[in-house]
């Protein structure tokens, strides 16, 4: 009989976690993307991490902040059930001091001539973002579902903020990247060929 290997096991060991990371195949962020996030967070030690969506990545980033003894993760989540689930898992792993999941229902935004449903920012804390992780809203909600992240959050990005976009191998995410690069000439982009594709972006320092 073949043994099904846990692709998250090396990451779990890197993060010195005794408990298995709770993942759902095809829904949780892929292990290679999370490993890139963890390596960045452990090396750069960002003070403020903002995450669009929540889940396994929230646990990984919170654990990195715990190991760093520095930093805090805020996750925007439109699904109330996902808020409860992620909060419970943070509690189980004793990571709740390093991350908070904010229930942010989707609301209408008008960007240029296009209307988008995106996370409500009414309860958004007044923070300067050092690391922005974009893994939501889900693509089935609308065309270019993750596009609003930069237009709506740009003013809160720290001067050296790094942006990670998951699922960057998908056609829609490629189109989003192209739109961002056209809108923001000072935006630098690097693509990493992970399982689902990872785009890393940063604004050039003025």
Asked if residue 3 has pLDDT above 90, the reply is: no
What integer is the mean pLDDT of 105-124? Answer: 94
Q: Name residues whose C-beta falls within 8 Å of residue 14's C-beta, 6 or more positions apart in sequence.
A: 35, 38
pLDDT at site 1: 42
Reported pTM: 0.94
Write the pLDDT tens digit of every residue in 153-197: 999 999 999 999 999 999 999 999 999 999 999 999 999 999 999
Integer CA distances (angstroms), 143 to 36, 140, 173, 175, in order? 27, 8, 10, 10
pLDDT at site 2: 45
Asked if residue 81 has pLDDT above 90, the reply is: yes
Burial of 26 (0-12, 13-18, 19+ CB in 10 A): exposed
**Contact, 191 vs 167, CB < 8 A?**
no
- Percent of the chain whose pLDDT exceeds 70: 96
Better-scored residue on pLDDT, 71 or 5: 71
Better-scored residue on pLDDT, 27 or 61: 61
Write the pLDDT tens digit of every residue in 5-28: 788 899 999 999 988 887 776 668
Dist CA 56 CA 6 (whole Å) = 14
pLDDT at site 26: 60
Q: What is the distance of C-alpha 147 from the center of its chain?
A: 14
Six-digit token string for 130:
């050092």
Q: Per-residue confidence at 95, pLDDT binned at 50, 70, 90?
A: very high
Torsion 187-133-161-127 (CA) sign: positive
CA count, 13 A, side-chain hemisphere, 51: 30
Q: What is the mean pLDDT of the chain?
A: 93
Burial of 34 (0-12, 13-18, 19+ CB in 10 A): buried
Is domain 32-203 classified as CATH 3.40.50.510? no
Closest CA to 36 of 198, 202, 203: 198
């Amino acid at each position: 009989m073949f043994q099904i290997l846990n692709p998250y096991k090396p990451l779990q060991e890197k993060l010195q976690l005794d408990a298995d990371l709770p993942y759902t195949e095809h829904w949780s962020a892929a292990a290679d993307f999370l490993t890139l996030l963890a390596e960045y967070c452990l090396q750069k030690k960002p003070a403020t991490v903002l995450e669009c969506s929540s889940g396994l990545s929230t646990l990984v980033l919170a654990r990195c902040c715990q190991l760093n003894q520095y930093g805090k993760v805020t996750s925007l989540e439109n699904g109330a059930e996902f808020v409860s689930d992620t909060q419970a898992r943070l509690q189980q792993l004793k990571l709740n001091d390093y991350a908070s999941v904010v229930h942010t229902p989707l609301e209408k935004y008008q960007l240029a001539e296009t209307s988008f449903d995106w996370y409500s920012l009414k309860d958004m804390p007044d923070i300067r973002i050092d690391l922005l992780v974009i893994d939501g809203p889900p693509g089935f909600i609308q065309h270019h579902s993750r596009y609003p992240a930069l237009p709506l959050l740009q003013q809160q990005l720290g001067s050296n903020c790094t942006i990670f976009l998951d699922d960057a191998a998908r056609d829609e995410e490629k189109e989003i990247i192209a739109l961002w690069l056209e809108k923001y000439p000072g935006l630098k982009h690097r693509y990493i060929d992970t399982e689902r594709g990872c785009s890393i972006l940063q604004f050039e320092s003025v």
